Structure formats: C-alpha cells, structure tokens
Structure 1
Amino acid sequence: MNPAIIIRNETDADVSTITEVTVAAFRTLETSNHTEQFIIEALRAAKALTLSLVAEVDGRMVGHIAFSPVTISDGTMHWYGLGPVSVLPEYQRKGIGKALIQEGLSRLKKLNAKGCCLVGHPQYYRRFGFENVTGLVHEGVPQEVFFALSFDGHFPQGDVMFHEGFKANGQHTFTGHGSAGGAHR
C-alpha cells in the first residue's frame, strides 16, 4: 500500500528543499537544461507563482509543482502555465506527480482560471485532458509537445508567452513578463 500523499501550499521554510527536490528530479533528464530550480526562484522573486504546491510522504517533501500566468497574443486572460513539476527520483511512478497536477488544476479552476498550458511529454499529459490545439502555439517549441487544457471549452488562438522567469539560468534575474524559451516541464 502506498503511503498517503499530502499536497499543500509552499511555505517560506520550504524554499531550499524545493530547490533540492527540483535539482534531483531533473538531474538525469536528458531533455533538461537543468535550469528548473532557477525558473522557480525567478517566478517566486517576480511574485508570479500563482500556485506553488509541495507533496509530502511521511513528513518528507518529495515533489513540487508551479503554476504561473501566461500571456496569449489574442488577449485571452486567466490562462496559466504548468511547470516545472518535480518528484524525487526514488518517488517517481508512485502517483505523486499525478496528485500534484490534479490538485494544481483543481485549485486553478477555483481561482477562475480559464485554462492551462505546458510543454511536456505527450504520453504523460494527455491523460489529464491536455491536447495539442491547432492555432495555439509557443514559438520555438514543436506543436506535438505543446499542450493546452481549457476549463471553459474555449481555446484561445495565437502565441503563448510564458513568464520571463522561464528564461532564468542562474546568471540573471528576471522580474518582468515576456516570452520564454526552453522547456517548461
């Protein structure tokens, strides 16, 4: 039997552990630029973390997920980007990422969000209802790994720009809005 997974909002005391979990989760992922911890720090510094949730098992933080606002060129408001999402390697494939995503999407809906988008693995995110949407793109990212999930049945059309914090690489501090390159797991 799997131990209970507790999902809760991050606290100030969680910040360094979130960084450790994020670094460990992406350490061996070949498609990663290994900047995910800097992205989270930049989003937090810019007060752009709409939701920052941690997962605990037996009192130990084992996962984290971030949601931040996106800008869409057609002017659609109240859409968010999912990512990064991190689970410690020894806790992966135990439902923790799934629990973080489901709870995060549920909380976004309660905030009257209209939808969520992400860049990620096709076989994984489709199970949550995410789909590739014709006419909704993220520049520089292949359409087959860019996904959207509408909460109200309406999909915007245009270019999605993630918060500028997604450009963070540990070398610079970003505090504004803008487009983002790279992957947004």
Structure 2
Amino acid sequence: MQSANIQIRDESSTDSSAISELTIAAFETMEMSNHTEQFIIDTLRAANALTLSLVAEIDGKIIGHIAFSPVTISDGTTGWYGLGPVSVHPDFQRQGVGKALIKKGLSRLKELNAKGCCLVGHPEYYPQFGFKNAPELSLEGVPKEVFFTLAFNEKIPKGNVLFHNAFTAEY
C-alpha cells in the first residue's frame, strides 16, 4: 500500500459505527489496552469533546482514525489537546497510516491555534513527530517515559494534565 492512496478527512455523522469497529479491531491484540478505546471515542463524541476526529480511507473504506480532545492543565494554561486514541486496522498497520493521521492531525491543531499536544504512548514511536518527555508536565498514574508533550510555541506549561473523563470512565 502506498500512503498516496490514503484519503484523510474529518469524521462524518455516518462514520461512528465504522470507527467503533475499526477501533475494536485495532486494539484487540494489544496487551497494554483495556479494550475501552471505542467507548472513549463514543463518550468524547457524545460530550462534544472531539476537537478533531479524522479518518483515513482507502477506496471509501475507513482503515484508520485519530481523536484529539482538550486537556486541562493545573497551571491554568489553555489551548492544549490530548492525542488519542489512534487506531489503524490490523491489515494496514506498519504501512504509514498512523503516521499520516498523526501528521495531519497535528497540522490541523496548529491551524486551530492550539498551543500544544500531549499523549500516552510508545517511547520509540512518538519522538519522530517531535514529542518529548517533559519534566514540567505530568499525568497522574502514568510513568514519565510514556507521557509525551509537543509544544507548538516551544513553551511547555508546568503542572498536572487531566484528560477528559472519558479516558477514566468505567465501561
């Protein structure tokens, strides 16, 4: 597959079930997952907290999805977002779909005048996009080595980050 065949667009009102099915499939074999990612996306959508929800398509079939939602920072800084979940169908993983979604999503966040983005993710994957471990910010209960930040203006806030409660709800 070539990434040139991938079309990335905003989620439409008819995409929710396809996104849910894709997310279940993407996380099915991941040991670190508690398999609630599809519920997180549904809850963010229902709370109108999906700032960006992008899908990747090939030939009209949704093969990837990425969500961005606002985060709260204890020092009062605004304009920061959380990345996640990001899902790629198992048949298309390791082929550039996730990278394309992340790059497009970060570009779109910048267009919205976001100040930065943070996430919990794999330490060997996210630095390629400019994400770094920042001692100034923390996420309760998450080891520093898997919590990443990317400041769009080089200014990293200081404090604790709180993702939308959809990430901690019991499903």
**What's the TM-score, normalizing by structure 2?**
0.97
Contact 1:64/1:86 (<8 A) preserved: yes
- The whole-number CA distance in structure 2 between the counterparts of 1:29 and 1:167 is 18
Amino acid at match of 2:129: F
Task: Provide the secondary structure at the position in 2 that maps to 1:43.
Answer: helix
Number of the residue aligned with 1:177: none
Aligned to 2:115: 114
What CA distance in whole angstroms lies between the structure 2 residues aligned with 1:126 and 1:43? 26
How far does the alpha carbon of each residue in 1:79-126 deviate from its partner, in whole angstroms, 9 at most, with x for none?
Answer: 000000000001001100000000000000000000000000011101
5+ long unaligned stretches in structure 1: 171-185
TM-score by length of 1: 0.90
Conserved in 2, the CA contact under 8 Å of 1:38 and 1:169?
no
Aligned match of 2:78: 77
Equivalent in the alignment of 2:92: 91
| Structure 2: unaligned runs, 5 residues or longer | none
Stretches of 4+ aligned residues off by more than 3 angstroms? none
Match of 1:21 in 2: 22
Within 5 Å, give how 1:1-185 maps onto structure 2. Answer: 2=2, 4-170=5-171
Partner of 1:118: helix, strand, or coil?
strand
Aligned residue identity for 1:159: N
RMSD of aligned alpha carbons: 0.9
CA offset digits 1:49-70 (Å, max 9, x no partner)? 0000000012210000000000
> Quick one: distance in 2 between partners of 1:119 and 1:8?
24
Separation in 1, partners of 2:33, 2:27: 7
Aligned identity (percent) is: 66
Give the 3-state SS of the residue equivalent to 1:123 in structure 2.
Answer: coil
